[in-house]
Amino acid sequence: MKKYCINLLGITCCLVFLGTQTANSQNFLKRYINSLVNDTADVSKPQFITYPILGYAPETSLEIGLNSLLIYYAKRDTTNRLSEVNAFTFFTLENQYGFWFDHALYSHKDNWFFLGRIRLQSFPLLYYGIGLDTPKEHIARVDANQILVKERILRKLHKNVFLGLEIDFQQLSNLDFVENEGRTLSELPLGHEGSTNIGFGLGLVYDNRHNVLNVRDGFFSEIAFLHYNSAISTFGFNSVSLDSRIYRPIGKNNVFAAQLLGQFNSGDVPFNQLALMGGESMMRGYYTGRYRDKNQVAAQAELRFLPLPLGFSKRIGFTVFGSVATVADRPVDLRLNDLIWSAGVGLRFLLFKKKDIYTRIDYAVNAETTGLYIFIGEAF
């Protein structure tokens, strides 16, 4: 949590630093801030924001990074869906580094839909074990180099219905399991020596969302199948994922959002490609991979007030959210009495007024820990 708090401080310090520079720098800074706060750009014009990040965590020491977001309409036609590209790069004083690239791109008239993410990083992973019966403190820190490329290339079949190829490439190399103080790693998981796996499959998507960063009324559902063949991968296994999200307006400004997620794996699944519970989107408050197993079901709901009915500002919003999830080795072992919970509240600030995009600050609590998250766009 400390890391994300310092991120905000880093942004503020950098802006103050820029503000002390030459008159040209001051004018540029004023224009830049004015374009963000007042959203002076033409609504059809692409918009770009970039800002520095400073952070700290025990596993990484001081972290320095740069985050960028590009949003646009294909051919500057606002009847098209809003596309977004997000890039984040960082390095730490422990010689760790990373580059993240996420995108959701819609072509003109939605004929094509490209949804994907890229992760290139040398970064520690915390390993707690497999299943629900794992200790609260991580058993080991896994130092490794990681490459993850997941891409969906989808073609419109009918209005809001897309079908296409899904590709997933994941490589974990140069692994070193460092036991946590006072913990003993009795058995190393499958994939502890590293692995390179590539999966090919199909995805079927229904999506009528117009603004993926802040959906006020819509429905999204995806079913995807991936096959990792042992002839071209270190391990052979299959993966099926289900993801459904619904958004319904309540009054003029309020939104009820809900998501149901299922991940089902079979075969020889390495520990880094098991279903991972936790993160900045689903089960906020838990470290990504705090619980992991072959199968997972998760659900969350969120009530968004965008914005709050405040007399002094129309840019401040608020959310309250809750989620539950469980993992198991077999689908038949997924039980409601084994649910893990997480809940929290969030503060919102309307960043791009014309495009209805908010910055979110979420604070989540659960039975074990807390988490603070700062991102542009809603969690789901």
* pLDDT value, residue 94: 84
Residue position matching structure tokens 């096959």: 227
Token pair recorded at residue 294: 């072959």
Give all domains of the chain, ordered by start, each with its CATH number: 2-376 (2.40.160.50)
Residue 39 DSSP SS3: coil
Token pair recorded at residue 237: 């296994």
Would you say residue 13 has pLDDT above 50? no
**Number of alpha helices (DSSP H) and beta strands (DSSP E) in the chain:** 2, 18
Q: Which residue type, as a one-letter code, is found at position 248?
A: R
- Give the separation between CA 75 and CA 197, rounded to whole angstroms: 37
- Spatial contact of 321 and 362, defined as CB atoms under 8 Å apart: yes
Q: Which residue has the higher pLDDT, 156 or 13?
A: 156
Q: Give tens-digit pLDDT for 252-294.
A: 999 999 999 999 999 999 999 999 999 999 999 999 999 999 9
- Spatial contact of 55 and 66, defined as CB atoms under 8 Å apart: no
- Give the separation between CA 221 and CA 150, rounded to whole angstroms: 18
Would you say residue 98 has pLDDT above 60? yes
Buried b (16+ CB within 10 A) or exposed e, 314-326: ebbbbbebebbbb
Position 31 confidence tier, pLDDT thresholds 50, 70, 90: low
Position 39 confidence tier, pLDDT thresholds 50, 70, 90: low
- Spatial contact of 214 and 377, defined as CB atoms under 8 Å apart: yes
Report the candidate in 186, 180, 184, 154 with the shortest Cα–Cα distance to residue 167. 154
Report the candidate in 326, 325, 324, 378 with the shortest Cα–Cα distance to residue 349. 378
CA 235 to chain centroid, in Å, comes to: 26
Would you say residue 99 has pLDDT above 50? yes
Q: Which residue type, as a one-letter code, is found at position 102?
A: D
Position 36 confidence tier, pLDDT thresholds 50, 70, 90: low
Taking CA atoms, 359 is separated from 105, 223, 315, in Å, by: 20, 29, 10
Backbone phi and psi for residue 133, each to the nearest 5 degrees, phi listed first = -90, 70
Buried b (16+ CB within 10 A) or exposed e, 195-216: bebbbebebbbebebbbbbbbb
CA 305 to chain centroid, in Å, comes to: 21
- Give the separation between CA 324 and CA 277, rounded to whole angstroms: 10
Q: Give tens-digit pLDDT for 312-324.
A: 999 999 999 999 9
Find the range with the poorest average confidence among 4-18, 99-113, 116-130, 358-372: 4-18
* pLDDT value, residue 296: 98
Position 141 confidence tier, pLDDT thresholds 50, 70, 90: very high
- Spatial contact of 115 and 154, defined as CB atoms under 8 Å apart: yes
Q: Give tens-digit pLDDT for 305-352.
A: 999 999 899 999 999 999 999 999 999 999 999 999 999 999 999 999
Q: Give tens-digit pLDDT for 42-89.
A: 899 999 999 898 877 766 778 899 999 999 999 999 999 999 999 999
Q: Give tens-digit pLDDT for 18-27.
A: 444 555 656 7
Q: Give tens-digit pLDDT for 175-199.
A: 999 999 988 898 999 999 999 999 9
